[in-house]
Amino acid sequence: MNSADDGGRRRKHVRKDFYGQIEGIVRGSTFYGTIQNLSLGGMCFEVDYLFRAGVDLCLMFKVFDTEQKPIEVKAEVVWVQPLHMLFNRVGVRFKELAPKAKRIIKAYISGLKIESEAGVSGPSKYPLLFSAFKLSNVTLKNRLTMAPMFWGYANKDGSVSQMLIDSYREIALGGVGMIVVANAVIDRSGIMASRCLRIDQDRFIPGLAKLAEAIKSSGAVACLQINHAGRWAKVDKLLAPSAATMGVSTKLGVLGGIREEVTGRYQIRLVNKFLLMLMNCRQGMTLEQIQFVKESYGQAALRAQKAGFDMVELHGATAYLLAQFLSPRSNKRSDGYGGSLENRMRFPLETLQTVKEFVGNDFPVGYRFLADEWLPGGFDIKEAKIFAQNLERLGVAYVSVTAGTYESFFLPEIMNRLRKEGYAAHLAGQITEVVSTTPVVAAGRIVRPALAEKILRNNEADLIGLARGLFADPLWPNKVFERKESKIVFCTCCNTCLVCVIKGEPVICGRWDKFKKMNLDIQLKEKRKKWEKILIAMDDSEDSLEAVEYAGHMIGNDQKITLFNVLTSEREIEIAKKKMEALLAQAKGHLQGTGINENDIEIKVAIKKKGVSHDILEEVKKGEYGSIILGKGSASRTHQLLFGSISNYIVQHAKDCGVWVID
C-alpha cells in the first residue's frame, strides 16, 4: 500500500469520527444538525426538524475549536429520510460557495485539526477544566462531573447489578472528577421505570456500598441521586401535588409533538403513558403523605451515607415530584404548599432540610435544578433564580442546572433546541449570577472540551456535567488530559440512548462497537445462572432414571431441583399418578446419592393440558427455572410432535433458559 492511499484512509477515518454541528435557518426558524457527510458539492446531516425537498436553507458552518467566525452557505434540500423514530437525515446541495467557505469545508473533509497543528492540548490548553475544585468538604481532582443519566442497568428488584458497577467503574477510571449515580428511588410509590435503582430499604445498602467503593477506588468522588417520580411513577396510585388539570389545548400540543416526533408502536406507548398519567393523577397528596415522602428522602440519604457515598443529589428536575411542586402548571394546591412561589417552594426546601437533618451538616447535599420548563405558564428562569437563592440559604452543596420536562421534550421546537451544543449553558450562567457561594454545574450537550473550558472561562458555571459524552467515551477526560483529543469518540446526538429509554430497554450508545453492545446484552438478559433452579423432566422409563443420576453428578450441591412429569394417560389418572410419584421418589434417591440435599429436591406430577412440550415450557415459565434437563432417548421415543421430538421442540422454544439434553 502506498503512502497516499494510507493517508486517504486516515483522513476518511478522521472524517467519520470528527464531531461537527451546523446551525441553519429555514423559513425564518433556526435548526441544529449533526454532520454525517460533507463535500464541496453538498452535505448530509441529522436533525430534529421537519423538512421537505426543494426548501432553501441558510447554513452557518465552521470548523470547531478555531476562533474563526461561522461562514454562511446557501443550500437546497434534495432529499429527506426519516430515521428511527426521533429524527431525520437530510441531504442538501450547495447553491453557492464563497472562497472562504470552500477553504473551511476543505479543512473539514481533509480531517485537519487546528489544535493538533498548534501542538497545544491537555491542561495547558484547558487549565480551568483540569484544576482541582473544593465542593463542600470534598475535593474534586478536576472540574468534570458525570451528570446523572438513567441506563436501566439495575437488577429487576432495584438492587445494584454487576453491570452497573462495571459501567460506573469504567467511567471513573476514565478520569472524571465526580460521578452522580442516577435515579435511586426513595419509595416504591416513586419508581419511574423498570430496572431502576432503589434505596427505600436497608437491604439495598450492601450493593450500593460495592458501587460506591468501585467509583471511589477508581479515583472519582461518588454521589448518589435520590428521587421520587411523583405523577410520572410507574404505579397505580400516583403521588402528586394535585390532580392533573392541564388545559385541553396544552394536552393536544404535547400529544401532537409526540405524534410528529415518534413513530409506530413507540408513539402509542408514549401517548398512552401521558394519558394514563392524566387519568390516574386524580387527587393531590395529603399532608401526611407529604411528611412521609420528606422522611423517605431523609432515610434514603442516610442509607447512601452508610453505603459510603460522599454526597447525595436531590432530583429536582425533569418534571419529577420536587419539580412538580414548583411548577404552577402541575401544582394547583390551595394550601400552604401551592399558589405563590413561596408556597410552591416549600416542599422541595423542606425536603432539603429534612435530608440534612438525617445526614448532618458535614454530608454534602446537591440539587438537580430545573431552570425552565419551556412550557407556557410553567416554572421559568425568573422563578428559578429566586428558588436558587433559597437553596443557597439552606446550605445546598451545589446546583446542577438543566431544563425541560417530559411535557416539553417532545415538542418539535424543544427537540430541535436540545440538539444544540451547550443548550442550557446560558441558564447555568444566569443562576451563577444570583448565587454568591454555591457552585453551579452546567450540563446539556457539552460535547467538546473547548466549549467546556469556555463555559468555565466565561463564569457561566463552576463545574461541567457530562452525561452522554462520557457514555459514548468514558475515557473523554483522560484523552483530553493526555493530549489525545483527536481520539475521543464524540456523542453525535444520534438519540440511540433515548430510543432505548422509550422502548423500555437497557440503554446503549450508537457509537459503541458491536462487542460492547453484545457484552451488555449478555450481562443484562434475564437469564438465571444455569444451575440456579433446575427442572428435570422425566418420563416413566428406566432410561430416564439413568439420565437423572447422570444429571446429579453434573449439578453438584446447593441447587434447587424439581423432578417433573406430565401424565399422558387418559384412564386411571390416580393410579398412574401414584406410580409416577413412586418413580420420581426413586429418582430423588438417585440425586441424594450424588450428594444433593434432600430438602433441595421437589417432586411434581402434572396432568397433560396442551401437550407434553407445551406443559413443560409452561412449568418452566411459571417456576422461573434457569435450566431444563431432558433424557433425549426416552423423551424422543415416547412423544413425537409436529416440530419433532419433545427435546428438539423445547430446545427451539425455551426462552431465557438453558436446555440440557442427556443422551
Contacts for 502-510 with beta carbons within 8 Å, 24 or more apart? 502/85, 502/262, 502/266, 502/269, 502/270, 503/266, 504/152, 504/193, 504/194, 504/269, 505/152, 506/151, 506/152, 506/153, 506/195, 507/149, 507/150, 507/151, 507/152, 507/153, 507/471, 509/468, 509/471, 509/472
Is the pLDDT assigned to residue 66 strictly greater than 70? no
> Which residues, 6+ apart, have CB-to-CB distance to 358 below 8 Å?
298, 299, 301, 302
Residue pointed to by grid coordinates 417530559: 406
Please indicate, yes or no, whether residues 79 and 60 belong to a single structural domain of this protein.
Answer: yes
| Residues 253 and 275 placed together within one structural domain of the fold | yes
Is 625 within a domain? yes
**Residue where a domain stops, chosen among 490, 524, 558:** 524
User: Residue 469: its pLDDT value, please?
Assistant: 93
Question: Is residue 382 domain-resident?
Answer: yes
* Residue 630: strand pairing partners: 537, 661
431 with 538, same domain: the answer is no
Residue predicted with more confidence, 518 or 457: 457
Looking at the structure of the chain, the number of domains it has is 3
**pLDDT confidence bin for 657, thresholds 50/70/90:** low
Question: What gap in Å lies between CA 454 and CA 425, rounded to an integer?
Answer: 10
288: in domain: yes
Q: What is the DSSP letter of 198?
A: B
Per-residue pLDDT, 261 = 44
Confidence of residue 646 (pLDDT cuts 50, 70, 90): low
**Same domain as 248, residue 163:** yes
Determine the pLDDT at residue 590.
Answer: 85
Pick 402 or 554 by higher pLDDT: 402
Shared domain for 487 and 435, answered yes or no, is: yes
In tens, the pLDDT along 305-324 reads 999 999 999 999 998 999 99
Going by pLDDT thresholds of 50, 70 and 90, the confidence category of residue 131 is very high
The catalytic position among 168, 320, 406, 625 is 320
Query: Which of 138-142, 212-216, 225-229, 589-593 has the lowest average pLDDT?
Result: 589-593
Examine the domain organization and report whether 178 and 262 are in the same domain: yes
Q: What is the pLDDT of residue 37?
A: 83
- Pick the range with the lowest mean pLDDT from 360-374, 459-473, 528-542, 547-561: 528-542
The cell numbers describing 512, all together, are 459503541
Round to whole Å and give the CA distance between 389 and 89. Answer: 43
Cα–Cα distance measured from residue 444 to residue 498, given in angstroms and rounded to the nearest whole number: 14
Give the residue-averaged pLDDT of 516-541.
70
For 256-300, what is each residue's pLDDT tens digit? Answer: 444 444 444 444 455 556 666 666 667 889 999 999 999 999 999
Do 337 and 372 fall within a single domain? yes
Q: State the CATH number of the domain containing residue 589.
A: 3.40.50.620
Query: Taking 50 as the threshold, does the pLDDT of residue 490 lie above it?
Result: yes
Worst-scoring range by mean pLDDT, 91-100, 510-519, 535-544, 628-637? 628-637
Query: Rounded to two decimals, what is the model's pTM?
Result: 0.75
Q: Are residues 516 and 537 in the same domain?
A: no
Return the number of other C-beta atoms located less than 10 Å from residue 521's C-beta: 12
| 3-class SS of residue 487 | helix
b (16+ CB within 10 A) / e for 160-171: bbebbbebbbeb
Whether 307 contacts 205, CB under 8 Å: yes
Whether residues 575 and 516 share a domain: the answer is: no
Domain presence at residue 307 = yes
Would 349 be classed as within a structural domain? yes
Query: What's the rounded mean pLDDT across residues 126-143?
Result: 96
Q: What is the mean pLDDT of residues 381-403?
A: 98
Q: Is 518 in the same domain as 570?
A: no
pLDDT on residue 152: 92
On whether both 298 and 445 belong to a single domain, the answer is yes
Q: Grid coordinates in use for 114?
A: 487546528
Per-residue pLDDT, averaged over 354-374, amounts to 97
Q: Indicate the helix (H) or strand (E) that contains 39.
A: none
Read off the amino acid at residue 581: E
Q: Is residue 420 part of a domain?
A: yes
Q: What does the pLDDT look like over 11-54, one tens digit per residue?
A: 444 444 455 778 888 877 888 888 888 888 998 888 887 788 88
Active site residue 19: no
DSSP per residue, 233-282: SSSSS---SS-----HHHHHHHHHHHHHH--HHHHHHHHHHHHHHHHH--
Give yes or no: residues 31 and 135 share one domain: no
Average pLDDT over the chain, rounded to whole?
Answer: 83
- Among 545, 526, 451, smallest CA distance to 163 is for 526
Residue 120 inside a domain? The answer is: no
Model confidence at 116, in pLDDT bands (50, 70, 90)?
very low
Indicate the residue among 81, 115, 149 that finishes a domain.
115
- Write down the pLDDT at residue 156: 87
Residue 410 has pLDDT above 70, yes or no: yes
Domain boundaries, position 306: 127-524
CA within 13 Å, CB half, 385: 11
647: number of Cβ within 10 Å: 24
